[in-house]
Structure 1
Amino acid sequence: MYWNQAEDPDTITVPDDIVDLSFALDCRQLPVDHAYGLAAALLAVCPWMAAEPGIAIHGVHVAGSQNGWERPAHGTGNRLQVSRRTKLTLRAPRARVAELLAALPGIRCQVGDCPLTVGVGKVRPLSKETTLFARHVAAAPGETPQADESAFLHATAATLAALDIRMRKALCGRALALATPQGPILTRSLLLADLSGTESLRLQQHGLGPHRLLGCGIFIPHKGIDAVTSNG
């Protein structure tokens, strides 16, 4: 007889060696594709982040539509309308938390042609949720936007396996390119469901693939894969 008992989420301890830092944000607009500009602005204040493997910068996320406003197309020339509730979030090793909480509040910078001021930050633990979502995961070198999604998922499964994470249910989104001075970086969104609690925490801690400072490979909790499939 084989009996595989699912983990009880209440028995899982969330480690604090990697945490999220959520900062208030004073900013009216941002380019839709702001990954490179945001990273450059923060690296100007904390250049050590470029050599810190545990640091990741979440993209500033704004709802797809609000009060009749529709999210514009992806690109550096289009603008997101940023509300006062919108946060700037970094994922960071615990050893760097105090430094970031001291260095970032009060900085004023430009992301593209949009002024941005960072406010007070607070620490948030990683999530126990077992359905996770990444808005951007960098595609393999040489992959084109027209490439079959199955190739992306096959490569993802192999990368996850190296982290001892089994890919059971996965959905990837359409290809988007992040603009950088070195050329565009092709990415896809990725939702993973039915992870174990241990796998979920490991994935949040390690991330997936390169370009973490550009918001790639950072996983956050999601309400579930059923909502995606029912609306797809």
Structure 2
Amino acid sequence: MTSPIIDLYFPLQGRNIPVDHGYPLFAALAQRLETPGHPWLHESGDIGIHLIRGRYQGQGLLALGPHAKLGLRLPAERLPQLLPLAGKALEIAGHGLRLGIPQPHALQPAANLYAHLVTTHHGQDEARFDQEIARQLAALGIQSHAQRGPRRTFAVKGKQVVAHSLLVTELTAEESIRLQEMGLGGRRKLGCGVFVPWIR
């Protein structure tokens, strides 16, 4: 039996983090979780990491509020590998965070889903990006409409990667759960292609 996909949310204590924190967050988690010769987080294909939400305070930083959370999307069977993060400190590009006790949450269906960053091969070409998203949605058996948002960039090892935000609308409950479980595009461990319910 396949393990259900869930979201695991850790409360966060900290002042601020960079807006562009996907790669340094992943690197900090890998440093905490992996052991020499066993880079399991790097090699895993079934874990997504939510970008951390905060209020933009200028100078490329997000201010973290009292309800800030770190979210991971993963098969429930992976919980024992992630629970050791509880109570641990992380350093994200020089900004310190401390993780609290996590809470698991079941995925909830929503008719409209949003991802802040989605990357594909040749994603800098908007037409090819749209074609690839349509292909991936069709492969998932999803016929809903996808609305490409603004072009964005983020850094990975000093190189800029092109992405777009994406809104997928008019999903059935089954399609919504499937899209949240599978995501779209690549770099899910860097916060890309991880969909959440869209609230207008």
TM over 0.5: yes
- Equivalents in 1 of 2:14, 2:119: separation in Å? 27
Does residue 156 of the first structure (1) align with residue 133 of the second (2)? Answer: yes
**Alpha-carbon distance in 2 for matches of 1:178, 1:135:** 12
| 1:188 matched residue in structure 2 | 164
TM-score normalised over the length of structure 1: 0.78
Q: CA RMSD in A?
A: 1.8
The separation in 2 between residues aligned to 1:46 and 1:92, in whole angstroms, is 15
Aligned equivalent of 1:20: 7
Q: Name the CA distance, whole Å, in 2 between partners of 1:17 and 1:190.
A: 24
Q: How do 1:1-232 residues align onto structure 2 when only pairs under 5 Å count?
A: 17-47=4-34, 48-63=40-55, 71=56, 78-101=60-83, 103-141=84-122, 143-144=123-124, 147-148=125-126, 150-166=127-143, 168-181=144-157, 183-223=159-199, 227=200
Identity of aligned residues (%): 34
- CA displacement 1:62-110 (0-9 Å, x = unmatched): 24xxxxxxx357xxx6111111111100001111113312x11111121
CA contact (8 A) 1:32 1:72 kept: no
Letter in 2 for 1:174: P
Whether the 8 Å CA contact 1:39–1:214 is kept in 2: the answer is yes
Q: Return structure 1 stretches of 4+ with deviation > 4 angstroms.
A: none
1:210/1:192 CA distance change after superposition, 3 Å:
same
CA contact (8 A) 2:49 2:191 kept: yes
Residue 181 of structure 2 aligns to a residue in which SS? helix
Letter in 1 for 2:135: A
Q: Which amino acid in structure 2 is aligned with residue 140 of structure 1?
A: H
Asked if structure 1 preserves the Cα contact closer than 8 Å seen for 2:148 and 2:166, the reply is yes
* Contact 1:62/1:82 (<8 A) preserved: yes
TM-score, with normalisation over the residues of structure 2?
A: 0.90
Structure 2 distance, partners of 1:52, 1:114, is 26
Counterpart residue identity of residue 171, structure 1: Q
Long gaps (5+) in structure 1: 1-14, 64-70, 228-232
Q: Which amino acid aligns with 1:160?
A: L
Unmatched runs of 5 consecutive residues or more in structure 2: 35-39
